[in-house]
Structure 1
């Protein structure tokens, strides 16, 4: 009996593979479009850096934008740049060099930063919704409630509260033994494809993934939803049509961003996971990691007269009509 037990243990150990790197398949199934995809992603990345960079500059330098709403917007734009920079440069390098390997450590770092920045964005969106709630539903107390100290604390809380928990979650995932293939059929290191390759008892990891999703995604989303229910109710009760339009215009841009970000992320993580849907997963992951950050500056600038006025002061005459 002892001999049989030892044989089984040795057999299980032989089946385990010490993974030192992963292979990100990305768009390897489109070999003729590698150059085209690189060009498209390069343009998108430059647009993200330029658009969000301009938002950061004008919210820091323009005197008319020194309010809590634009303070939060500047921080959100900075988080968008960081969030995109975790994945997009690596994807472009893989397309350019056609080398798709990523080391075990770099994969862990990419996932860790992706989770932390994703959690930060969810919390910042909730903070921005709270700011609009106070501004519209409690306008007389706005300057008292949203003072500079509170705004700074809310931003610091959004940036740092998620770090220890999500770092621990990343450590848990990469502490699992990986067996068999080291090929990730994805664009970057993400939790679902990594857990597919892991073996052993994954129940605890999956439980903490769902728990963290509730804390850093579902709770902020419900807070945003509750804030906007109260905001819309307050707006509809306003006697003046001009007042209703002005109040709604101040929060409509944020609402659009919330729908785009949370909508694409929820669809990505709720659809059934199968090999036949891997292409859909890739497209949806591109949407919330690249497309949404690219359109955010446009959404905020095109629907905001103050931002347009600030951009006209900053940019050369004739560039913005």
Structure 2
């Protein structure tokens, strides 16, 4: 390692230190990550297949659910395969371009997931508080527009962050205490000032995190007050049942993100931060299909139909 600082043109790679350097633990980690990835991809694919194959599920709510599943597959694919390759090859490096790609796609899919959860909360809000207007408000055109707009905003945001990273110059120490290129960790390695980058991160987090979250909280306040006014216990139960799975996914997504943010704010050891980030970048993506298929009667029924139609091997 030569000590003089190098500018951004000569940075060809970063080192991802991952979660552990213990060779025995690495093997365990490899198996765990592989299992999690397989379950995530297969579980979410099954949800997408189920929703698309059953016309009964061609409703706004399941349109958003299948978009969420596709996003979960993409988010996991951005980080996990590279980790698996690195553990297998016993090599920690990731190219500069690879690192930028990871930053870009993690930002896109996390942002998009944020918006999707808000769209789903709005969908439940309209369904429970304004049932007669539901088909008019949540028409296919409006739903597709919501998804495209969310994706567009997430991509613009991710592009902004990535272009800002391109402006930075990096020093000789290029070790990221993480299993993927996480934006704040990459910024810590820069030799040049990252003030604007950090301002942008906080600003965007407040807007792109705050607005959807406020929308979710607003929708649920209205839903709860609406449900509590329902005369029949059966109606109440039914209304809460349709929201249950979405609420579980929301709490998992925001709970883990806030947990990770707090753990990095209070400067835990880098290893603990890396383990915490598994919680928000890997676990929710794997859990979502389970939450939706186990908590949801419609999806359970359609899954049975789908499996019933498959030729017995």
Give the TM-score category using the shorter length: over 0.9
Aligned to 1:186: 178
Which of 299, 302, 306 pairs up with 2:294? 302
Give yes or no for the alignment of 1:82 onto 2:74: yes
Q: Which has the larger radius of gyration?
A: 1
CA distance in 2, matches of 1:59, 1:80: 16
Once the 2 structures are TM-superposed, how far is the Cα of residue 30 of structure 1 from its aligned partner? 2.3
Match of 1:152 among 140, 144, 155: 144
Name stretches of at least 5 consecutive residues in structure 1 with no aligned partner. Answer: 1-12
The alpha-carbon distance between structure 1 residues 32 and 275, as it changes in their structure 2 partners (threshold 3 A), is farther
Rounded to whole Å, the distance in 1 between the matches of 2:12 and 2:121 is: 43
Instruction: Return 5+ residue gaps in structure 2 as ranges.
Output: none
Say whether residues 1:104 and 2:82 are aligned partners.
no
2:162 alignment partner, SS class: helix
**1:277 is matched with which residue?**
269
Q: For residues 109-188 of structure 1, what are the structure 2 equivalents within 5 Å?
A: 109-188=101-180
- Deviation string, structure 1 residues 112-162 (Cα, Å, up to 9, x no partner): 011011101101111011000000011110001001111110111122222
**Conserved? CA contact 1:42–1:92, under 8 Å:** yes
Aligned-partner Cα distance in 2 for 1:132–1:221: 15
Name 1:225's counterpart in structure 2.
Answer: 217
Residues 202-241 of structure 1, C-alpha deviations (whole Å, 9 max, x = no match): 1111100111111221211111111111111111111111
**2:55 pairs with 1:63:** yes
Q: Distance in 1 between matches of 2:264 and 2:118?
A: 28
Residue 22 of structure 1: SS of its match in structure 2?
strand
1:174 Cα offset (Å): 2.9
Indicate if the aligned counterparts of 1:265 and 1:284 stay in contact, CA closer than 8 A. no
Q: Secondary structure of the equivalent of 1:15?
A: coil
Distance 1:19 1:274 in 2: 30
- CA RMSD, Structure 1 to Structure 2 (Å): 1.7
| Equivalent-residue separation in structure 2 for 1:276 and 1:76 (angstroms) | 31
The alpha carbon displacement at 1:29 in A equals: 2.5
* C-alpha distance in structure 2 between counterparts of 1:119 and 1:70, whole Å: 20
Question: Normalising to structure 1: TM-score of the pair?
Answer: 0.91
Q: Contact (CA 8 Å) 1:179, 1:199: kept in 2 or not?
A: yes
Q: TM-score, normalised by structure 2?
A: 0.94
Name the SS for the 2:19 alignment partner: coil
2:230 to 238, 242, 248: 238
Q: Give the Cα separation in 2 of the matches to 1:199 and 1:57.
A: 48
Aligned to 1:43: 35
Q: Deviation digits for residues 165-195 of structure 1, max 9, x if unmatched?
A: 3202111023211123011111100112111
* More divergent stretch after superposition (67-76 vs 283-292): 283-292
Residue 272 of structure 1 and its aligned partner are, at CA, apart by: 4.3
Query: Which structure has the higher relative contact order (CA within 8 Å, separation 6+)?
Result: 2
CA distance in 1 between counterparts of 2:296 and 2:86 reads: 38
- The aligned residue for residue 10 of structure 1 is none
What is the match of residue 265 of structure 1?
A: 257
Give the deviation of 1:63 after TM superposition. Answer: 1.5
Secondary structure at 2:269's aligned position in 1?
helix
